[in-house]
Amino acid sequence: MIELLVATLCVVRRDLLVSLRRAQDVLTPVIFFAIVVSLFPLGVGPEPGVLATLAPGVLWVAALLATMLSLPRMFANDYADGTLEQLLLTPHPLAVLVLGKVLAHWLLTGLPLVLLSPLLALQLQLPAEAFTALILSLLLGTPILSLLGATGAALTLGLRGGGVLISLLVLPLYTPILIFGAGSVAAATTGLDTEAYFSLLGAFLILALSFTPWATAAALRVSLE
């Protein structure tokens, strides 16, 4: 058990170090998220009421698209340099090692979006009482996006036009997360109870943690054959 934990942490550490050496891979989703949200007020006008109404959906759609932007790179570099083949040869369960790679992806993509979201929410005139709901919904939702996206990235690994295929595969799965994530923020904006939204997001996260690492591992084995 300890050896498996050490191996998983080594996968996380390696992915973090490799990605940080290519700063553009880390910054591109964050910059995309900031640009999309910042441009939106220019398109709909500066009316605070309109911006506050649209803010939950805008922030969540931008976060979803920013996450999708980074998915093709989750396994592509390891596939190209042979690292994935080495992971298959290790005595540790591939699904657990995949979970380490998903964690590294979330730390580099999802967590920065969560940290940046309150600042961008100010631009959209989101009420202060909804900030907690925004952060909590993204903390629960963005790991699900990474987990589901990992399965899509594994299924399209090595295929031409893989980025487009990933979008077609994961967008239907992302839709419930988008609905409940944005809905929780909208409910907090109007003073409604948000417990049901967070319970559903938590349930989706548990399901994703339970099934997607195994599905991703199986897809990687198929892609490498």
Provide the residue ranges of all domains of the chain, joining segments of one domain with +.
2-224
Sign of the alpha-carbon dihedral angle for 181, 68, 123, 47: negative
Sign of the alpha-carbon dihedral angle for 86, 92, 98, 100: negative
Q: Which of 88, 75, 205 is nearest to 148 (CA)?
A: 205
Quote the CA–CA distance of 23 and 46 in Å, as a whole number: 33
pLDDT tens readout for residues 132-143: 999 999 999 999
pLDDT tens readout for residues 41-95: 888 777 888 888 889 999 999 999 999 988 888 888 888 777 788 888 788 888 8
Q: Would you say 146 and 129 are in contact if contact means Cβ atoms under 8 Å apart?
A: no
Q: Would you say 78 and 102 are in contact if contact means Cβ atoms under 8 Å apart?
A: no
Quote the CA–CA distance of 89 and 83 in Å, as a whole number: 10
Residues lower than pLDDT 70 in the chain: 161-162
Residues in the chain: 225
Q: Which of 91, 177, 184, 179 is nearest to 129 (CA)?
A: 184
